[in-house]
Structure formats: structure tokens, C-alpha cells
Structure 1
Amino acid sequence: MSEDRQDTLLIRGWRNVREAGPRRLALTALLVVIALLVARYSWDIPAEIVPRDMRTQGAEDVDLKTPGTGDAERALYDLRSSLLADRIEQDERITMVVYDDQTLINARKRSPLDRGMLARALQVIDDMEPKAIGIDILFDQPQDEDAELIEVLRAMETPTLVGYANFATNEDDIVYDQQVYLEDFLAQLDGSNARPASIRLDNTHGVTRRWPSIEPDLPPVLGRAMLSAAGEGERTFPGYEGSLRYRHPAFENEPMYGRLQIDNFLDPALMEIPEVRAMLRDQIEGRYVLIGGDIIDYDRVQTTFSSVLGENPPGLRVHADMIAQMLDGDRRGRVADITLWAMALLVVTTAVLTGLLEWGSWRIYLLLAAQFATFIGVPFVMEWQGVDTYGVPAAGWLLGWILAFSAVVSAARASGAVQRNFAQGALGKYLPKEMAEEILEHPQLLSLHGEKKELFVLFCDLEGFTKMSHAIPPEMVAKLLNRYLDLLSDVVLDHGGVIDKFVGDAVVAFWGAPIARKDDGERAARCGYAIWQAGERFREEVAAMDPNLPKIGKTRVGLHWGEAVVGNFGGDNRIQYTALGDSMNTAARLEAANKALDSSVMASREFAERSGLDWWRPMGCVVLRGRAQPVELMEPAPDFPKSDRDLLAQAYKLTRSDNASAVQVIRDVANRHPADRALENLLYRVRNLSDGGAYVLG
């Protein structure tokens, strides 16, 4: 189907919507605007609390929520993040030294974590020369071992970052009195290699998906502070607040990072064994060491993987993931706000245009499937390419599309379909003028029948006329259209053709029925070229008529030869003499292909070989839109040098055996005709042939 014919379907659909009335039109516009906002802001539409008086009988007396689009967006984000996450072997740059449940059992002390153990372990770890040490523990209430721990921290040779939080940003983890004690504790470390670092995570919506925001009253987050203290400040992602990158271990049940119990550093006798000390040193030396809890019911964090894998890692693991992301330089690019608006507008526009199309075949279902797959697939592709897709709609695009599409279709269905169908049927009762005399002489031709004929088919369309018709009064549209169709009708009749039908500004004609002549092929070929010339004259005529009129394009012509069933079709109240068959469709697709081929008139080889003319130049082989079999193209070029036509024929044969040589031949011909865009297009297509030796038009 040509672009202008598709435009005709859209115009008809718009007319249907418009005829629904101003109130319905206003409601439709409002719904489309709402659809646009949903497609843009779906991440920000929260879940709704269901009032108790609206709950079903027997519902518990708890807060019930209906999911919002934000919940769906976050679920889809978690899914694509988990599915597309890298799988890596153990990261040897980071080691976690943990208090685990067995440690607490051995210490017979659960909370707060034993600081005497930490002090003794720090002395051993410091001696093993790590790059930096991060302590994910809040010293926010007194313990008997505090003096010992402060002394050890002040003596540390290794840069050591001590966990810090305040009530303003971590009100669920610390109260004001604890903050006061914590700040007094950290003040005693001034002047040493131990300094505070924020252990705050972003748990918005209960899941840690993003880097914590940068707060002016907080020290740098733990991982950033550790890299800076180790002299790698350029890797700390300054100002970054995008998504956190999580990864999967390459092998199931293998830890992502080195993991040691803190108990390993507390047995003096064990540490005297050279092999043991060497093994531990190998896990510490030159690494970033994180110390904290890995306890079943303490400081567990939901991440983007939790809903998929059902696992909540310790907060210490999240800090390790942040360090690894910075070391890898994986600072994920954000999608610009203007891009999100453009995508939302594209989604809604697509929905509106799809709703305006009056398609009654399987094609509409393919179109819908392709659009839905695109809306779901684009965020996955972006995530796969390393783009930060947190905030990129997926569910919102689908919901916005459905809302806009439903609004347009509903309005179209509410309009006066009966009246439009009546008008269309009345116009369709007029027979082509060419049949009038034949019917007067042979009234039996009015009987309903059809017979198979070999036809030369012409299909032409005027590029840009539909666009121009939107910008000028209807009376002027009718005047120009009638003038254009008069010109083309005269050309067809002068060349002995039968005008099959007009479809807007498109003209369908054929030769070979009801009476076949020996020179039908030549007549049809010359008519196709003459119609293009008439279209050029029409363009000049319109431009001279009123310079303010929008410019219209060229007339495109498709020519094909093949079998078709020709005759009168319809019923007792309506008949039409017409041709039906695949050859008609092929001619239409050849006409539409001119746009992609940078040409004006294009014929199939079947047509050209039967025309009796020698002015054709081969233009390659293509698979037309909606077709399975390739079509060999021939273009009328009466003024083109015969030697160059012969070279193009030679190049076409070479494409099957030596495509590189074919490309060179076409390049030489194109260089001699630099203004010939169709030759440039041919050169591009020959360079990009499919496996079957044909170029597939999009």
C-alpha cells in the first residue's frame, strides 16, 4: 500500500472521529493528553490505598493497596536488570571480613557487635597492607572495649573509614542520642588515618536500586571514601546518583567477593602458622577490605535481584558492589528528560494513528504485536547497552498506548458510520466511462462474471498531495484533484488504456481487457512515462497558480504484467468493472517502491520484456514490501546512453557471481551521472544484497 493511500485511510479515520461531535472530540483529546502523561510519568504514579468501606467482605483490617504503574515499572526494571546482569568470577579486588551467625554464637554476644574482636582483627589486617578498610558498623552506643578500639583506630597505618549516619537521613537506624555518641566517638579519631564515611543507602520503595543521594551534611559514602583514601579519587563517580549495578556469580553458590570470618584473625596460635597467615594475607594485601555483619536477620537489604532471586544480601555486600562499579568505571548514562518526552509522544502518536486506520485484516494484528514488542523491548535493549533504565517507562508506554488507542477507536465507532457507508456506496455505482459504449452495444456485459486475462497494469500516485490538502480549503483541494485526474485520464485514454479506478489521487489502469491488442505493452509503457511527465507539468502549473500553496511531490508510477481476473463484480444494486489479482498488487507496490528507490517510474522485468521497447535500464532485484518473491526492476530511461544501459545489464548478471565487480561497474556508471539519485540508490542496494541476491525494501 502506498504512503498516500495509507494517508487516505488516516484521513478517513480522522473524519470518523471528527464527526463524533465536539463533546466527544474534546473528551478524546483529554484522554489522549492523559495517555501522554501516563506514558511519561508512569514511574511516579503510586499505589492507591483502598478505603475500608470499599473493601470486599472479610478483608483484614490492614492497609490494602491497588498496584500503581510505578510498582509495575519497578518490577519490570528489576526483571530486566536481573536477566541482563553480567556473570563474573570472584572479584579479587574486594574482601569482606564479616561477623556471621557463627561468630555471634562463639562470642556469646549478639548486639552490639563485639568491638574487642574488631580491635584485635584490625591490628592483624592493618599489618597485611590492604588498600583501604571500610567499617560498616555504627559505634552509636558505649561498650567496654571502646577505649581499646579508639586506640587501635588511631594507630592504623591503612586508611580506615568508619561508618557514620545521622538522624536526619537514617531515622530508621539511629536516634538523636545515638548520633551524639557516634559523633563524640568519631571526634576522638581526628588527626589519624581513621575518618568517618556515610553508610547510608537509598532504600526508596523498600529496595536499594540507586546510589544514595549526595547530602551536604554527610561525609562521602563508604565506597567513595575508601577509593579516595587509597588515592583513586578519579574513580569515585563524583555527583553520580544513578542506578546501582548488580552482578551474578559465574557459578552457583560461589561468593561474589572474598569472604572471611572475623574469627580467623583472633586466634594468636593460628596466626603463628606461616601457611595460615600467608593464606589470609593473600586475601587482604592490596585489596579493599570491608568489615561488617553478614547475619541472617540483621542489616539485610532488598536489591533489584531480590524479587527475582528471593535473596536479600547484607548491606556490606551492597557497599562492595558500589566499590566494584566505581573500579570498573561503569557509570551508567541517564536518558535525557527530553528523550523520555519524545518517546511518550511517539507512543501516543502511534496509538492515535493506529486507531485512525480502518484496517479489517490480519495486518492490524501484526502491527499491534510489533508495537507492543517494541515498547517492552526498547528498555531491555537500553539496559543491555549499559544505559540507566531506572525511570524509563515500559508499562507506562503500554498503558498510555492502550488509553490513547481506545479513546480514538471509541470516538470513531460513535460517529455516523451508516451515513459514510451510504455515500461511499453511491459513488461506487458509477461505471468507468470507457465501459459505457461497450455496455450500450452489449448489455449482457452487465451480468456478473469474471475471466482470467493477461494484463499490463499501471498504478500511479501523487506524492505530497495529501499533505497539501490539509493546508488549503476543501474547494481548492477538489479543484486541484479534478485537474490532476483530468490530466492523467487524458494520458491513459490517449494511450488506449482502461481506467480501472481512482483512489484519492491514485489512478489504476490496465491494458489487455476487455479487448487485447498487440501493442498493449508499448502503449502501457509509453503511458507510464507520459503520466510522470504530466505529473511534472501539474507541479509547475500548481506552483504558477499560487506560490503560497504547499509544494507537492512527483507522480510515482508502477508497471507490471501478469494475470488478473477481469469483469463485473458486485450485486444487483452495485456493480463495478474492475481487475482483481496479484498483478494489481504488484503494480501498486512497485509504485510505492519508487520512494525508497529514488525513482519515479519503475516496472517489473515481465512488463519491460513484453513492451517491445529498448529504453529500459536494469535497476537490480528487490523484495517488495509485503512480498515473498523478489522482483527484477527495470526503469524507462529513453535519454540514457545505451552503452551505460548495457553496463548496468552486465552488472546485474555479475551480482550473482562477483558482486564486488558489479559494484565497481555501477559505481563507474553512477560517476558519469552524478545527478542521478536512482543510480546512487542502486549502488547502495547492490552493496547490501540479502543472501538471496535481492535487496529487501523496508
Structure 2
Amino acid sequence: MASQPDPAAAATSREEVGRSATRLVRQLGLVRLLATLSFLIFAIAVARYSTEMPLLGDAENAMYDMRAANFARKVDQDPRILMVVYTDDTLIDTGQRSPVDRTILANALTNIDRMGAKSIGIDILFDQPQDDDEALKTALRGMQTPTHVAYASNATNNEAIQFRQQEFLEQFLKDVTTDKTRPTSIRLVTDSDGVARRWPDQPKNLPPIMVRAMTPPDASFADYRGAIRFRLPLSSDRPVINKLPIDLFADPASAEFVASEVKGRHILIGGDFVDFDKFDTPLTRIGDVVTGESQMIGLEVHAHMMSQLLDKDRPFAFPNWSLWAMAFAVVVAGCLTAISQARAWIMGLLLGSQILFFMTVPFILQYQGFDTLGLPSFGWATGWLLAYTSVGAAARVVGSKQRAFAQNALGKYLPRSVAAEILKDPDKLALHGEKREIFCVFTDLEGFTKLTHAIEPEMVALLLNDYLDRLADVVLQYGGTLDKFVGDAVVAFWGAPISYPDDGERAVRAAWAMYEAGEDFRRNAPEGVPPIGRTRVGVHFGEAIVGNFGGEGRIQYTAFGDSMNTAARLEAANKNLDTRVLVSREAAERSGLDWYRPMGRIVLRGRAKPVDIFEPAPDRPESERASIAELVAAHATGNDAAVAQLTSRLAELGQEDAIANLFKRLGQTQKGESYVLG
């Protein structure tokens, strides 16, 4: 039996998505979020419409020309089409340039009509009167071969024909139109850069386009507006479309020799002049490297279109919906790449492969025979880059806020410099433990538990938070790691997760600063609060296990081991010894400080091994610290006379509780014997 979806789980998932979205908006900010979305919409538009945009459109056209020229099919000469052209030599011989001599055309048409051509297309506008018009009209009216005479209108091609010329042309065509002779559109279109790349549309006010009119009807090309498939010759001496001068056909004597070139072919008649009716095409756009010519005559453009139509070579053009889908896909790819957390080398590979994909896929598709004229290349890359940049910027904003939050959170337990290093290398806080030598610090507030029973809970919370804030600030000020709070006790250590050469000095200075912070806290207690006890501190150096513990879901960076226990017992020993801060020999010797006074040797509660202890006394004269050091050294060697003398001298300086306690312990032990705490 199929399991049913859990409505509660689905609702929870929706709530999580909603919370994530709310958090994203809050972190990113509404204005920046809207700006990012606007950039993404613009990126999709660029990836879809780059072929029609300024600058990008020029780049797309140049890329298409490169594809079309390099992957143009090489073919032998097309036996179905022949171009019959007026040349510059013809103009010289006739002494007539514009309009061209129509007698030659009339004679050529009469001869070609007898040679068995399939159809004839004339790419010459008869828009001005000539003395020999009647001869041409007679020839056109007598044609038995389907003949198509050029027509253009001022509305669709105002550069080629003026309105008065159009009026004459229409009357001329009306005079010659028969069942065999009909007008045809010779309109070609160019892109914004003046290059002929695509088939023209079919305006309703124009007769059929010449190549469609001259060939059998083909429904697949009825509305074709895609790329013109220009071909390249297999050899330089045999052009794709053969071309012969019209003079050969106008003279009956020479016409007989070229009759075989006409029979069964579509004949295109037009001009091949140096400076007239020339077009840039993808084959000529890059100069004469591919074709040997800088431009192509309009008649040859028609010939290539006819050859394509006869081959039924209608390449697959990507539908509009697929172009939108591809545009959306590349923008999504840019977004995902921007937020990817992959390693640097993977990111480099990902970036390179995507850019390579955008630049090479259109070439591959062109090679495979697809119509890539409307397929973006720069548009994809630009859309991807816009998405990558905008989402990357948004991610950096969110990341910086998250980083600031994380650093602020870490900063509550670690110094900011240490927190910053951990954010750079999170492996330094990996979920594992390791043995490290650290300086351990424990504190305790004397009598605080008893105090909590004497005041209101709200006041307890106020005092405790104030006290812990003060001590925590000291730990972080001196570069320590704040381990935990245990009631009013503070646990901290130096040397992990990052160790520094001066960890010992900073640990001991912090211990003394915490004592002083506790004294300041006592002096500034709110009115009505019973007296608050001293802050006692213990410091020890030794090996401990340090790391993240507790599991992936809930972890704590902490330290434990005998060294931590020793520091805790040193803190507790302050009570018995009337001291404020106790530092073990191991910690004192590594601190580099000379402000200690030795407090003898003791055995801590629950321990067997004795510990030499020291108390920081920067507030006491150096001479006094030196005398106490002599006293402890004399006791260690069993020099009772020196002990008595030094004790008497120190007693004259004033009976400080810690020193009085030392006198008592030294008096109860012999020759360096350790004092055992009960």
C-alpha cells in the first residue's frame, strides 16, 4: 500500500521555506532584493534578445558570420541555375550605363526562350523610359518560358525607387504581363549592419519573391524567414553558381554555343557591376579570406536562395519557447555558480566549462546543420555573467552579514582576531578533540550562592549578568577563549584553538584583571545589596583535550583534563590560603612576568603531587616580593634561622592576610614540606 503524504510534514516544510525566504529578505534588504531580481530579469532578456540589441547584436552577427563562413557546405557548381549578367564591359560596349541597354536584353530573352530554360527571373527594374522599350516589351509579351520581371515599391524599398519611378514601372509591367510573364519581388533584406543573412519577408502589397515564383510551390518555404544557406565552391575555378555575360546570348551566333548552359535551368538575369547592387554576406563579411571577393552581387544572393529552396534545405530553427528556456537556463546556471561553495579548482573548472559551452555550442549546432542565426552566443555569456555578478553581489552581502553575525557570535567566546582566523579556516574548529598545552583559568565569586538567597531573583540576574559581562570582556580583551559560565564561575583558556607565543603572559594578566574587575564590581554594587565577596582566580599550564564536543547538532568548544582540574582546585585553594589569584609554577615560569610572590608548596585537595604556587602582586613593592621569595627558599633548605629573621622583618611591614597565612603554613611544616589542604 502506497504511503500517504504527511500534511504536517508538508506544512513544516512550507514554514521552513517561508522562514528561509523571510531571513533572506531581512539579510539582503528589500531594495537590494528588488535590484537583484531586476538584474536577473534583465539578464534573461539579454540572454534571449541579445541578437536584437545594440552592440550585442553586432557581436552576435559577427559570431554568426564566423560560424556560417567556417561551416558553409562546399559544393560543386549547381547545374540547375545560371546567372546571365550585364558586366562593366557590356556597359562600355553599349555606351549606356543606367538604365542598361534594353535591346541586348530583348535579344537575349528571345534566344534564351528557344533554349529550353525552366524559368527566367529578371533582377532589373524598368522604372525609366528608353527608346528601345517597345522591343523589350514585345520580347516579354512573346515569352513561352515562365518569366518573372522585377518589381519594387517605394513603400518597401524607397532607396531603390522613387514614387514616379514606381508609377512608370507598374505601367511597364502592366503592358508586358501575360500568362507567362509576371511581376516578381526582388526585395532583399539586410540586418542593421547592412549584411544579407536571412530570407526576406513577403509583404502583402508585393508580388511573390522571385526565387519562390520561379520554382515549384513548396509549403515548407512559404513563410521561411531563416538564414540563407550560402555555399562555398569545391574549387576556385568552378563557382557555386555559373555566370555568363549577357552579350553571349544577345548575339544569335554566340548564343548557339552556350545553349547547353540554358536548357533545363533557372536563368537569373541582372547586373554584375563594380559599384552597384552589391551586398555583404556572412561569406564576404570577413573580407576575401573565404570567397576571394569583398561583396556579393544581389543576383547571386537570389541564386543562393534558389539553390537552398531547390535543395529543400530548411534548417531547423529553434522555436521561441526554446530560446526562452535556454535563456532561463543560462541565468539559473549563473545564479547557482555564484552561490556555489565548491573548492577553488572546481569553481575554476565550472566557470571555464560554462563559458566554453556558451561560446562553442552555437558552432556545434551550426556544424550539425541547425539554423543558429537567431541563437545567442554573447547573449548567453552576458546573461550568465549578469546573473553571476548580481547574485554573487547579493550572496556577498548576505555572506558578509552572516559572517559579521558569526564573528559577533564567536566574538562572545573568542577574541575577534581569533574569530576572524577561524572564519577564514573553519577547519580550525572541526568536530574533533586534540591534545593541546594550554593555560587554564578558573574564577569564582566568593559568597555569591549565599547572596542569591538574600536578594530578589531579578536583582540576582542583574548582578550576575553584569559580573559575567565584566569578566568575559577581560578574557576576550586578553585574547582568551571563553569556555563556559558555571553559575558565577568563569572558565577560560589560552593556547587553543590558536596558540600564540605570549599566551602565558596574557593568561596571567587576564587573571589579575579579572580579580580587579571583581573588586570594581564589589565597590559598585547597587544600594541595598549585601556585601559581595572577592573574585578568586586559579591559573595552571598543562596538557588538555581541546575541541568541539556534543555532536553535529549541538556542539561546544571546550577543554577538559587534569590541567583544567588543577586550575579549578587552585581557584578553590585561594579560600584556604587567603590569596586572590594563585598561579602554578608551570604557568608562572611560562608567563615571562616577574611580579609574583611565591606562596609555598601545597598539596591540593584530592591530589597527591605537591604544587609550587605563586600569587601575582603587581600592587606590592618589589622588595617585599623578593623578601618573600627568600623566606620560601630558606624554608625549602631548612634554614630555620633565616626563616625566623625574614618572618620578623616581613611582619613589620604589615600583616596582610595572605602573608600571615603563609607564615602559619611555614611554621607548621619542616624543610620544604608541602602543606596539605584539608
With normalisation by structure 1, the TM-score equals 0.55
Structure-1 separation of matches of 2:267 and 2:190: 24
Mapped pair 1:160 → 2:168: no
Mapped pair 1:73 → 2:67: no
Mapped pair 1:146 → 2:124: no
Relative to structure 1, the CA distance from residue 358 to residue 13 in structure 2 (aligned partners, 3 Å threshold; closer, same or farther) is farther
Among candidates 189, 196, 203, match of residue 215 of structure 1: 203
8 Å CA contact 2:197–2:228 kept in 1: the answer is yes
2:395 corresponds in structure 1 to 412
- The one-letter code matched in structure 2 to 1:323 is M
Among candidates 266, 283, 296, match of residue 313 of structure 1: 296
Relative to structure 1, the CA distance from residue 348 to residue 125 in structure 2 (aligned partners, 3 Å threshold; closer, same or farther) is same
Mapped pair 1:124 → 2:51: no
- The one-letter code matched in structure 1 to 2:198 is R
Relative to structure 1, the CA distance from residue 14 to residue 408 in structure 2 (aligned partners, 3 Å threshold; closer, same or farther) is farther
Mapped pair 1:395 → 2:378: yes
After superposition, what is the alpha-carbon deviation per residue over 1:608-645, rounded to whole angstroms, capped at 9, x for unaligned?
xxxxxxxxxxxxxxxxxxxxxxxxxxxxxxxxxxxxxx
8 Å CA contact 2:76–2:233 kept in 1: the answer is yes
1:326 corresponds in structure 2 to 309
After superposition, what is the alpha-carbon deviation per residue over 1:576-603, rounded to whole angstroms, capped at 9, x for unaligned?
699xxxxxxxxxxxxxxxxxxxxxxxxx
Structure-2 separation of matches of 1:309 and 1:18: 57
Q: What is the deviation of 1:29?
A: 2.1
**2:97 is paired with a residue of what secondary structure?**
coil
Q: What is the deviation of 1:12?
A: 12
Relative to structure 1, the CA distance from residue 431 to residue 326 in structure 2 (aligned partners, 3 Å threshold; closer, same or farther) is closer
8 Å CA contact 1:132–1:158 kept in 2: the answer is yes
Mapped pair 1:446 → 2:432: no
Among candidates 233, 236, 258, match of residue 280 of structure 1: 258
Structure-2 separation of matches of 1:155 and 1:148: 11
1:289 corresponds in structure 2 to 267
After superposition, what is the alpha-carbon deviation per residue over 1:435-493, rounded to whole angstroms, capped at 9, x for unaligned?
6xxx7xxxxx4369xxxxxxxxxxxxxxxxxxxxxxxxxxxxxxxxxxxxxxxxxxxxx
Relative to structure 1, the CA distance from residue 221 to residue 361 in structure 2 (aligned partners, 3 Å threshold; closer, same or farther) is same
**1:446 is paired with a residue of what secondary structure?**
strand
After superposition, what is the alpha-carbon deviation per residue over 1:349-383, rounded to whole angstroms, capped at 9, x for unaligned?
11111111234522111111100011112222222
- The one-letter code matched in structure 2 to 1:371 is Q
Structure-2 separation of matches of 1:357 and 1:576: 28
Q: What is the deviation of 1:267?
A: 3.1
Structure-2 separation of matches of 1:430 and 1:165: 79
Q: What is the deviation of 1:335?
A: 1.1
The 5 Å alignment of 1:251-270 reads 251-252=235-236, 254-270=238-254
Q: What is the deviation of 1:216?
A: 1.1
Structure-2 separation of matches of 1:432 and 1:293: 83
Relative to structure 1, the CA distance from residue 116 to residue 430 in structure 2 (aligned partners, 3 Å threshold; closer, same or farther) is closer
1:469 corresponds in structure 2 to none
Relative to structure 1, the CA distance from residue 124 to residue 570 in structure 2 (aligned partners, 3 Å threshold; closer, same or farther) is farther
CA RMSD, 1 decimal: 3.0
Q: What is the deviation of 1:252?
A: 2.7
Structure-1 separation of matches of 2:56 and 2:347: 27
**2:221 is paired with a residue of what secondary structure?**
coil
1:343 corresponds in structure 2 to 326
Structure-1 separation of matches of 2:121 and 2:380: 42
Mapped pair 1:239 → 2:227: no
Relative to structure 1, the CA distance from residue 432 to residue 350 in structure 2 (aligned partners, 3 Å threshold; closer, same or farther) is closer
Structure-2 separation of matches of 1:289 and 1:447: 97
8 Å CA contact 1:78–1:305 kept in 2: the answer is yes
- The one-letter code matched in structure 1 to 2:286 is V
- The one-letter code matched in structure 1 to 2:306 is I
Q: What is the deviation of 1:30?
A: 2.0
Structure-1 separation of matches of 2:236 and 2:178: 45
Q: What is the deviation of 1:178?
A: 0.8
1:572 corresponds in structure 2 to 499
Q: What is the deviation of 1:235?
A: 6.8
Relative to structure 1, the CA distance from residue 101 to residue 570 in structure 2 (aligned partners, 3 Å threshold; closer, same or farther) is farther
- The one-letter code matched in structure 2 to 1:390 is L
**2:80 is paired with a residue of what secondary structure?**
strand
Deviates more, 1:21-30 or 1:340-349: 21-30
Among candidates 14, 18, 23, match of residue 31 of structure 2: 23
8 Å CA contact 1:224–1:236 kept in 2: the answer is no
> Where in structure 1 are there 5+ consecutive unaligned residues?
1-10, 47-67, 272-276, 440-444, 449-567, 579-698
Mapped pair 1:39 → 2:75: no
2:232 corresponds in structure 1 to 248
Q: What is the deviation of 1:254?
A: 3.3
Structure-1 separation of matches of 2:245 and 2:340: 67
Q: What is the deviation of 1:196?
A: 0.6
Q: What is the deviation of 1:304?
A: 2.1
1:53 corresponds in structure 2 to none
Q: What is the deviation of 1:72?
A: 1.2
The 5 Å alignment of 1:684-695 reads none
After superposition, what is the alpha-carbon deviation per residue over 1:359-412, rounded to whole angstroms, capped at 9, x for unaligned?
452211111110001111222222222222222111111111111111122223
**1:260 is paired with a residue of what secondary structure?**
strand
8 Å CA contact 1:429–1:575 kept in 2: the answer is no
2:526 corresponds in structure 1 to none
8 Å CA contact 2:50–2:379 kept in 1: the answer is yes
8 Å CA contact 2:105–2:250 kept in 1: the answer is no
Structure-2 separation of matches of 1:318 and 1:419: 66
Structure-2 separation of matches of 1:100 and 1:194: 25
Structure-2 separation of matches of 1:95 and 1:129: 13
1:356 corresponds in structure 2 to 339
8 Å CA contact 2:107–2:251 kept in 1: the answer is no
**1:374 is paired with a residue of what secondary structure?**
helix
- The one-letter code matched in structure 1 to 2:177 is D
With normalisation by structure 2, the TM-score equals 0.56
**1:25 is paired with a residue of what secondary structure?**
helix
Q: What is the deviation of 1:17?
A: 9.1
Structure-2 separation of matches of 1:150 and 1:431: 95
**2:243 is paired with a residue of what secondary structure?**
strand
Among candidates 369, 376, 394, match of residue 386 of structure 1: 369
1:618 corresponds in structure 2 to none
Aligned length: 409
Rg larger for: 2
Structure-2 separation of matches of 1:131 and 1:400: 50
Deviates more, 1:424-433 or 1:78-87: 424-433
Relative to structure 1, the CA distance from residue 429 to residue 135 in structure 2 (aligned partners, 3 Å threshold; closer, same or farther) is closer
**2:270 is paired with a residue of what secondary structure?**
strand
Q: What is the deviation of 1:571?
A: 3.9
**2:280 is paired with a residue of what secondary structure?**
coil
The 5 Å alignment of 1:165-176 reads 165-176=152-163
Structure-1 separation of matches of 2:546 and 2:91: 92
- The one-letter code matched in structure 1 to 2:393 is S
Structure-2 separation of matches of 1:258 and 1:326: 17
Structure-1 separation of matches of 2:126 and 2:337: 62
8 Å CA contact 1:161–1:196 kept in 2: the answer is yes
Q: What is the deviation of 1:248?
A: 1.1
The 5 Å alignment of 1:534-553 reads none
**1:233 is paired with a residue of what secondary structure?**
coil
Relative to structure 1, the CA distance from residue 313 to residue 13 in structure 2 (aligned partners, 3 Å threshold; closer, same or farther) is farther
Q: What is the deviation of 1:43?
A: 1.9
Q: What is the deviation of 1:257?
A: 1.1
Structure-2 separation of matches of 1:152 and 1:236: 34
Q: What is the deviation of 1:109?
A: 1.3
**1:347 is paired with a residue of what secondary structure?**
helix
Q: What is the deviation of 1:90?
A: 0.9
The 5 Å alignment of 1:183-194 reads 183-194=170-181
Q: What is the deviation of 1:101?
A: 1.0
**2:143 is paired with a residue of what secondary structure?**
coil
The 5 Å alignment of 1:8-19 reads 19=27
> Where in structure 2 are there 5+ consecutive unaligned residues?
1-18, 289-293, 411-418, 439-494, 501-544, 550-678
Mapped pair 1:301 → 2:282: no
